Amino acid sequence: MPLPPLIMFDLDGTLTESKQPLSREMAWALSRLLTVTKVGIISGGALPQFLLQVVEQLPADARLENLYLLPTSGAALFEYRNGDWQKVYEERLSEKDAAHIAEVIRAAAKETGVLDFSSPSWGERIEYRGSQVTLSALGQQAPIIEKKRWDPDRAKKRALQEVIARDLPDFSVKIGGTTSIDVTMQGIDKAYGVRRLCERLGIPEPDALYVGDELGKDGNDEAVFKTAVETHEVSSPEDTRAFIESFLVQK
């Protein structure tokens, strides 16, 4: 594959394990990729999470001006200019919407019976991230092993998603990571973020590439098929790193 002018990556399960920092090897591969092309990263997390997982792991001389961050599933876009992350856009939910969404999530947990809010959790379960409200079923700081164990066949997340979407017809309700559901404004999803970034950079969608670990049906990356970008599915961060390396040896 020739080197695309823009490569976009999902974060959890693609560049890193869920909520973990980039590995040293991945940080190195990504920083070399940034010297040859533009890179976008799109995920359900908020900006601080991106800085922690990605930016702070990169070598000090990384070409951050070639890196574009799309937190909260593409509801916002940040670029690095004049030594700081500048907001290009952010589609914010109001506090009132956020409170209503939280209420609906709690009711859905009760109705489906798959999640008990009175049981102990690892940190907050519902987080308002400006442009998104996220349910993390076990809490924001739950250990990966517990998260992987909670819903391996996605049945619990699907049940929650269905009921929440039914009760929030004016919002977009998507399965996020291993234990999470993301609620954004209607029409905001990874496809929206991908489109906005291509537009911002003046790169035709078919020239850009999206790399993710959940491009299949109901997967967290599936929305990207609504755009015209090329896609590549990976099975793990290791697989992604090998794929990145394949572009670096071409140079």
Binding region for Mg ion (CB under 5 A): 10, 12-13, 213-214, 220
What's the DSSP call for residue 59?
-
Least distance from Mg ion to the Cβ atom of residue 174, Å: 12
Taking Cα atoms as reference points, which of 49, 63, 158 lies closest to residue 112? 158
Q: Which is nearer to Mg ion, 112 or 140 (CB)?
A: 140
Least distance from Mg ion to the Cβ atom of residue 234, Å: 9
Q: Which is nearer to Mg ion, 189 or 214 (CB)?
A: 214
Least distance from Mg ion to the Cβ atom of residue 8, Å: 12
> Are 46 and 130 a contacting pair, CB within 8 Å?
yes
Q: Which is nearer to Mg ion, 57 or 109 (CB)?
A: 57
Q: Which is nearer to Mg ion, 235 or 246 (CB)?
A: 235
Three-state SS sequence of 94-142? CHHHHHHHHHHHHHHHHHHCCCCCCCCCCCCCEEECCCEEEEECCCCCC
First-residue to last-residue Cα distance in the chain: 12
Q: In what order do the strands lie in the sheet with 126-128?
A: 126-128, 132-136, 180-185, 171-175
Radius of gyration of the chain (CA): 18
> Are 43 and 71 a contacting pair, CB within 8 Å?
yes
Q: Which is nearer to Mg ion, 112 or 231 (CB)?
A: 231
Least distance from Mg ion to the Cβ atom of residue 130, Å: 21
Least distance from Mg ion to the Cβ atom of residue 247, Å: 20
> Are 169 and 193 a contacting pair, CB within 8 Å?
no
Number of residue whose CB is nearest Mg ion: 13
